[in-house]
Amino acid sequence: MFCPKCGKEINDEAVVCVNCGCAVNNAKVKTASNSDGKGFAIASLICGIVSIIMFAIITGPLGIVFGAIAKNKGNTSPMATAGIVCGVIGVIGWLILMAMGVSLFSEF
């Protein structure tokens, strides 16, 4: 690696140039990670809320699964728990509506 100021060759691990004292931007680039499961917790909450309103058969289980993944990754936020609860409510509500619909149509 070369110094950006004086152009002399320096060690790849150097933080400053030994020749001119210029600070060398040699910091490792940190990548964004989802190690704490925050994204899954948010997805769980959104899917859970949507499952209560509509599309419960699809978004309810997704909310439950995303919430479980977030909890598995160590996320302790209430979003994951709320997503799981909303997903369960949405699926149960959908099952009740389907049972009522079948009983209504069986009378005809």
Instruction: Kindly give the interhelix angle for 78-106 and 56-72, rounded to the nearest 10 degrees.
Output: 160
Q: Please name the residue that has the structure tokens 């152009």.
A: 7
pLDDT at 57: 85
Q: Please name the residue that has the structure tokens 């994951």.
A: 80
Q: How confident is the model at residue 65 (pLDDT cuts 50, 70, 90)?
A: very high
How far is 83 from 49, CA to CA, in rounded Å?
7
Residues near 2 by Cβ (< 8 Å), separated by ≥ 6?
8, 9, 10
- Quote the pTM value: 0.61
- Whether residue 32 is predicted with pLDDT greater than 80 in this model: the reply is no
